[in-house]
């Protein structure tokens, strides 16, 4: 139409598409591995409500705001909410799942370093959303 | 060619007019007014976040209301009406018709915006611009929330009316000698974005009604306590508002397609690839809505499908960038103010797109989702790309609206300050997100890395604010007292300046 060759544009589109294929394939592969929960993972029930977190261990003990876990043990979170939607987030371990009323979402991890890590809410949930925090304490 | 205000008229003549340039002028004034109102809220938000703890705002509810109205205003009352302003001015000219297809409908679509805006501002709701239930259905304080719902409903109808008008004008009223393939890219951008509006808006319109009846307590569509599903709302919402991103960005790219070849003194590299990329974007915009919802507990398959759908939008966006760069390649470019804004907008569009590719990758999304990364990412689109394109285009339209020239030096200073400010605010917000700072927070923990990044962002925001003030002064002063523009060639680009689509006998 405009009397010049379009081949540079096609090469450019080809490069873009191959980069995207690489990113997509890599993401697919990593996500597939990440989602595979180990069978020996201990279940922790997580409930979000305005504006605090409640945790229930497999043996029935409950904690509010603080979560004590053991280093090296795989854990599986079963996350839900009581009143409105929240999002359970331990940023240092890349745990992020929405806590949705009426649904149980799961995420798993193995704490590999002892210490204290912040837990926070990452879905807007009203007045004190910014302060809906907790602490993960990983013990030796 | 002077489009508007060559003879000063009383304001009511413009207000009750249905002529496309008069309605366009009303759109310009309204959208810019809301731009400054929404921008003022942004400065308040950034001032509050300069340090941890309460600064200028004493309670979190006020803060929550501010970011809600900030987002709602700038999307629905600045970006969309501004695009309509440009479309009103230029679409009829470009397709060589005397007016829009339905002038009265056009005026009605405009006059729905002030009441919609008034409802949003007088209500001042708090549930963020995406109003997710169950919070918005059972906890958000009324009547603010209900006013927001009605306001959005009105603005949605206004969008649909405008879209119908653009589609009919372009397809049915274009000059018979002008084949659709030769319609300028700015008009093409309105055709494709209007098509998206028609398909996308109804699902959110339905969601709004359902949300309202949920709030009234007569239904439980989104309330799990009554057997509803809050995730259903998110699907309906994002089915509208992911495509809506393209409704905003496509006209901005169309504006750049008008400015870049003009100031490069060259025809566009490939008109047909621009059209192709617009059409592809308008289709793939519907394939990616649930990438906003990876963390809601979606299955691996769903996430994979929406990741692929998201990545599919990238090649078409890349074709636009290629088209711009290829047009500028080896050209005698005049870096007047509109050109600077467009080139800056393209650079930020590219950065935003690169961040979007990273975001679409599923595992990475669990780091960035609902963090400040996302805030930085989409602001690079809405501010860095769309607002930059729009502001540049307003400088470009200025001589045609007023018959006068703006102050070029002030325009360049405005651009440089805004560009530096935008980089300072939104690139640092990406970093803040990687550190783990959640979005929509009134306060943050006093970690040193949070504090320094928030401070850089706040200073950047103040720089943008100062530059916008300079812009406002420049616009108001130049509209009345600026130098008279040389209407044949306002920027001295050489040759006779005209709109090729309008001139019957163009003499080169």
Q: What is the pLDDT of residues B411-421, one digit of tens each?
A: 999 999 999 99
pLDDT given for residue B9 in this prediction: 76
Does residue A81 carry a pLDDT above 60?
yes
- Minimal Cα distance from B297: which residue of A? A105
The residue that leads in pLDDT, B81 or B11, is: B81
> Minimal Cα–Cα distance from B84 to chain A, Å?
30
Confidence of residue B326 (pLDDT cuts 50, 70, 90): very high
Contacting residues of A for B61, CB less than 8 Å apart = 127
* Partners of B438 in the β-ladder: B371
E strands, chain A, where? 42-49, 52-56, 62-64, 66-70, 75-81, 86-90, 95-99, 105-109, 115-121, 133-139
- Minimal Cα distance from B141: which residue of A? A126
Q: What is the pLDDT of residues B165-174, one digit of tens each?
A: 999 999 999 9
Q: What is the pLDDT of residues B177-211, one digit of tens each?
A: 889 998 999 999 999 999 999 999 999 999 999 99
The answer to whether the CB of B227 falls within 8 A of the CB of B216 is: no
Angstrom distance (rounded) from CA B194 to CA B189: 8
Q: What mean pLDDT is predicted for residues B302-319?
A: 93
Using a CB–CB cutoff of 8 Å, tell me whether B224 touches chain A: yes
Q: What is the pLDDT of residues A4-21, one digit of tens each?
A: 667 888 899 999 999 999
pLDDT given for residue B495 in this prediction: 56
Using a CB–CB cutoff of 8 Å, tell me whether B304 touches chain A: yes
pLDDT given for residue B399 in this prediction: 87
Q: What is the pLDDT of residues A89-99, one digit of tens each?
A: 999 999 999 99
A1 → closest Cβ in B231, B272, B440:
B272
Contacting residues of B for A10, CB less than 8 Å apart = none
Which chain A residues in 46-75 lie under 8 Å from chain B, judged by CB atoms?
A: 50
Angstrom distance (rounded) from CA B113 to CA B103: 16
Tell me the three state secondary structure of residue B390.
helix
Using a CB–CB cutoff of 8 Å, tell me whether A38 touches chain B: no
Q: Is the peptide bond before B364 cis (omega within 30 degrees of 0)?
A: no
Confidence of residue B503 (pLDDT cuts 50, 70, 90): very low
Full set of structural domains in chain B with CATH: 21-481 (1.20.210.10)
B128 → closest Cβ in A19, A97, A124:
A124
Which chain B residues in 255-294 lie under 8 Å from chain A, judged by CB atoms?
A: 267-273
Residue among B157, B137, B144, B248 nearest B204 (CA): B157
Q: What is the pLDDT of residues B55-69, one digit of tens each?
A: 899 899 999 999 999
Question: What angle, rounded to 10 degrees, do the helices at B372-379 and B428-435 form?
Answer: 160
pLDDT over 70, % of chain B: 96
pLDDT given for residue B436 in this prediction: 92
> Do the chains contact at A9 and B270, CB–CB below 8 Å?
yes
pLDDT given for residue B98 in this prediction: 86
B270 → closest Cβ in A2, A101, A124:
A2
Using a CB–CB cutoff of 8 Å, tell me whether B443 touches chain A: yes
- Kindly provide the b/e burial profile for residues B383-395, where b requires at least 16 CB atoms within 10 angstroms of the residue's own CB: bbbbbbbbbbbbb
The ipTM is: 0.93
pLDDT given for residue B499 in this prediction: 54
pLDDT given for residue A4 in this prediction: 63
Q: What is the pLDDT of residues B337-349, one digit of tens each?
A: 999 999 999 999 9
CA-to-CA separations, B383 to B238, B349, B455, in angstroms, rounded: 20, 10, 19
> Do the chains contact at B315 and A13, CB–CB below 8 Å?
yes
pLDDT given for residue B502 in this prediction: 44
Beta strands across the sheet bearing A133-139: A66-70, A133-139, A115-121, A86-90, A95-99
> Do the chains contact at A16 and B138, CB–CB below 8 Å?
no
> Do the chains contact at B443 and A126, CB–CB below 8 Å?
no
> Do the chains contact at A129 and B371, CB–CB below 8 Å?
no
The answer to whether the CB of B81 falls within 8 A of the CB of B116 is: no
- Minimal Cα distance from A2: which residue of B? B270
Using a CB–CB cutoff of 8 Å, tell me whether A82 touches chain B: no
pLDDT given for residue B1 in this prediction: 36
The residue that leads in pLDDT, A1 or A114, is: A114
* Beta carbon pairs, A and B, within 8 Å: 165
Using a CB–CB cutoff of 8 Å, tell me whether B216 touches chain A: no
pLDDT given for residue B55 in this prediction: 86
pLDDT given for residue B8 in this prediction: 67
Sign of CA dihedral B502, B275, B356, B84: positive
> Do the chains contact at A98 and B297, CB–CB below 8 Å?
yes
Q: What mean pLDDT is predicted for residues B375-387?
A: 96
Using a CB–CB cutoff of 8 Å, tell me whether A117 touches chain B: no
Q: What mean pLDDT is predicted for residues A106-127?
A: 94
Contacting residues of B for A35, CB less than 8 Å apart = 300
pLDDT given for residue B7 in this prediction: 60
The answer to whether the CB of B435 falls within 8 A of the CB of B449 is: yes
Does residue A71 carry a pLDDT above 90?
yes
Confidence of residue B494 (pLDDT cuts 50, 70, 90): confident
> Do the chains contact at A94 and B231, CB–CB below 8 Å?
no
Q: What mean pLDDT is predicted for residues A46-63?
A: 94
The residue that leads in pLDDT, B6 or B444, is: B444
Contacting residues of B for A23, CB less than 8 Å apart = 311, 357-358, 360-361
Does residue B95 carry a pLDDT above 60?
yes
Tell me the three state secondary structure of residue A105.
strand
> Minimal Cα–Cα distance from A111 to chain B, Å?
17
pLDDT over 90, % of chain A: 85
pLDDT given for residue B295 in this prediction: 92
B315 → closest Cβ in A4, A16, A83:
A16
> Do the chains contact at B135 and A26, CB–CB below 8 Å?
no
pLDDT given for residue A7 in this prediction: 84
Q: What is the pLDDT of residues B234-288, one digit of tens each?
A: 999 999 999 999 999 999 999 999 999 989 988 889 999 999 999 999 999 999 9
Does residue A84 carry a pLDDT above 50?
yes
pLDDT given for residue B191 in this prediction: 97
The residue that leads in pLDDT, B388 or B54, is: B388
Rounded mean pLDDT of chain B?
91
Does residue B371 carry a pLDDT above 90?
yes
B271 → closest Cβ in A2, A31, A87:
A2
- Minimal Cα distance from A98: which residue of B? B296
Does residue A3 carry a pLDDT above 80?
no
């Amino acid at each position: 139409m405009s009397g010049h060759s379009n081949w540079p544009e096609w090469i450019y589109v080809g490069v873009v598409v191959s980069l995207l294929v690489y990113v997509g394939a890599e993401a697919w592969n990593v996500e597939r591995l990440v989602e595979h929960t180990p069978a020996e993972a201990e279940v922790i029930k997580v409930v979000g409500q305005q504006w605090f977190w409640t945790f229930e261990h497999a043996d029935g003990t409950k904690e509010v705001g603080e979560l004590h876990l053991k280093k090296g043990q795989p854990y599986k979170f079963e996350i839900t909410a009581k009143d409105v939607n929240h999002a359970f987030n331990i940023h240092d371990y890349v745990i992020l799942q929405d806590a949705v009323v009426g649904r149980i979402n799961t995420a798993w991890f193995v704490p590999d370093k002892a210490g204290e890590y912040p837990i926070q809410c990452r879905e807007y949930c009203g007045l004190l959303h910014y302060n809906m925090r907790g602490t993960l304490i990983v013990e030796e | 060619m002077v489009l508007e205000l060559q003879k000063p008229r009383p304001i009511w003549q413009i207000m009750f007019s249905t002529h496309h340039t008069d309605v366009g002028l009303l759109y310009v004034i309204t959208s810019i007014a809301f731009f400054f109102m929404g921008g003022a809220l942004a400065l308040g938000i950034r001032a509050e976040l300069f340090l941890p703890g309460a600064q200028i705002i004493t309670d979190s509810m006020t803060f929550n209301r501010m970011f809600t109205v900030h987002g709602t205003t700038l999307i629905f009352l600045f970006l969309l009406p501004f695009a309509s302003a440009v479309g009103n001015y230029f679409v009829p000219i470009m397709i060589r018709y005397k007016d829009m297809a339905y002038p009265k409908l056009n005026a009605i679509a405009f006059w729905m915006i002030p009441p919609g805006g008034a409802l949003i501002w007088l209500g001042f709701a708090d549930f963020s611009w995406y109003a997710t239930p169950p919070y918005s259905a059972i906890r958000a304080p009324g009547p603010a929330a209900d006013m927001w719902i009605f306001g959005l409903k009105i603005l949605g109808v206004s969008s649909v009316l405008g879209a119908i008008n653009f589609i009919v004008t372009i397809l049915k009223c274009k000059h018979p000698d002008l084949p659709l393939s030769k319609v300028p890219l700015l008009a093409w951008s309105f055709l494709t974005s209007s098509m998206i509006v028609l398909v996308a808006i109804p699902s959110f319109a339905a969601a709004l009604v359902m949300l309202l009846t949920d709030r009234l307590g007569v239904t439980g569509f989104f309330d799990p306590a009554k057997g509803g599903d809050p995730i259903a709302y998110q699907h309906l919402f994002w089915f509208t508002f992911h495509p809506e991103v393209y409704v905003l960005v496509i006209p901005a790219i169309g504006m750049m397609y008008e400015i870049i070849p003009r100031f490069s003194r060259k025809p566009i590299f490939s008109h047909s690839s621009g059209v192709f990329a617009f059409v592809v974007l308008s289709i793939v915009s519907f394939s990616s809505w649930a990438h906003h919802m990876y963390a809601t507990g979606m299955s691996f398959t769903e996430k994979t499908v929406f990741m692929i759908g998201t990545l599919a939008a990238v090649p078409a966006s890349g074709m636009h960038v290629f088209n711009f760069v290829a047009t500028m390649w080896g050209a005698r470019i005049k870096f007047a103010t509109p050109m600077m804004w467009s080139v800056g907008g393209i650079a930020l569009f590219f950065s935003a797109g690169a961040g979007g590719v990273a975001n679409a990758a599923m595992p990475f999304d669990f780091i960035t989702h609902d963090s400040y990364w996302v805030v930085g990412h989409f602001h690079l689109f809405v501010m860095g790309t769309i607002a930059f394109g729009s502001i540049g285009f307003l400088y470009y339209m200025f001589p045609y609206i007023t018959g006068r020239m703006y102050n070029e030096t002030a325009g360049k200073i405005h651009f440089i300050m805004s560009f530096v400010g935008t980089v300072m605010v939104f690139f640092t917000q990406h970093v803040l997100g990687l550190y783990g700072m959640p979005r929509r927070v009134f306060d943050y923990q006093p970690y040193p890395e949070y504090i320094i990044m928030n401070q850089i962002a706040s200073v950047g925001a103040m720089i943008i604010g100062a530059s916008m003030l300079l812009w406002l002064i420049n616009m108001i002063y130049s509209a009345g007292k600026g130098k008279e523009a040389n209407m044949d060639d306002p920027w001295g680009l050489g040759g006779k300046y005209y709109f090729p689509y309008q001139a019957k006998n163009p003499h080169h």
